[in-house]
Amino acid sequence: MKTHHISLLTEDADQNINFYTGVLGLRFIKNSVNQANPRRRHVYYGDFMGTPGTVVTFFPVPFHGRKRIDARHFFQGIHFSIPTGSTIFWAKHLTDAGFPTSLDAFGVLHALDPDKIPLEFHESDAVLFDWHINYMTDVPYDKQITGVIGTELHVTDPAATAKFFKEMFNVDTKHNVINLEDNQQIFLVATPADDSVPQWGAGSIDHFALSADNQAELDAYWKRAEELGYTRELMVDRGYFRSVYFREPGGNRVEVATTNPGFILDESLFDLGTTFALPPRFAGDREALLAYYAKQGVHFDDVQPYTGTGHLSGTVEVIHGDETTSNN
Distances (CA, A) of 99 to 7, 116, 148, 283: 22, 10, 20, 40
Distances (CA, A) of 93 to 47, 77, 83, 126, 186: 19, 20, 15, 20, 26
Give the pLDDT confidence score for residue 309 in this predicted structure.
73
Whether the full predicted model's pTM is greater than 0.85, yes or no, is yes
Q: Are 128 and 84 in contact (CB under 8 A)?
A: no
Count CB-CB contacts under 10 A for residue 43. Answer: 24
Q: What is the mean pLDDT of the chain?
A: 92
Residue 57: closest CA among 119, 3, 6, 20: 6
Q: What sign has the CA pseudo-torsion 56, 36, 200, 2?
A: negative
Q: Are strands 102-103 and 109-112 parallel, antiparallel or unpaired?
A: antiparallel
Sheet strand arrangement including 231-237: 27-34, 37-46, 55-60, 3-10, 205-212, 253-261, 241-247, 231-237
For 163, phi then psi, to 5°, come to: -65, -40
Neighbour-count burial for 180-192, b at 16+ CB within 10 Å, e otherwise: beeebbbbbeebe
Q: Are 129 and 141 in contact (CB under 8 A)?
A: no
Q: Are strands 147-155 and 185-190 parallel, antiparallel or unpaired?
A: parallel
Distances (CA, A) of 197 to 71, 131, 158, 292: 6, 45, 20, 33
Give the pLDDT confidence score for residue 328 in this predicted structure.
31
Q: Indicate the angle between helix axes 158-169 and 215-228, nearest 10 degrees.
A: 130
Q: Are 162 and 92 in contact (CB under 8 A)?
A: no
Give the pLDDT confidence score for residue 7 in this predicted structure.
98
Distances (CA, A) of 76 to 116, 119, 164, 263: 11, 9, 19, 26
Arch. (CATH architecture) of 3-295: Roll (3.10)
Distances (CA, A) of 210 to 150, 253, 293: 10, 11, 31
Spell out, as residue ranges, where the chain has pLDDT lower than 50.
313-328
Give the pLDDT confidence score for residue 197 in this predicted structure.
81
Strand partners, 31: 43
Rounded Cα gap, residues 54 and 45, in angstroms = 8
Give the pLDDT confidence score for residue 70 in this predicted structure.
86
Quick: pLDDT tens for 256-274: 999 999 999 999 999 999 9
Parse the chain into domains and list their residue ranges: 3-295
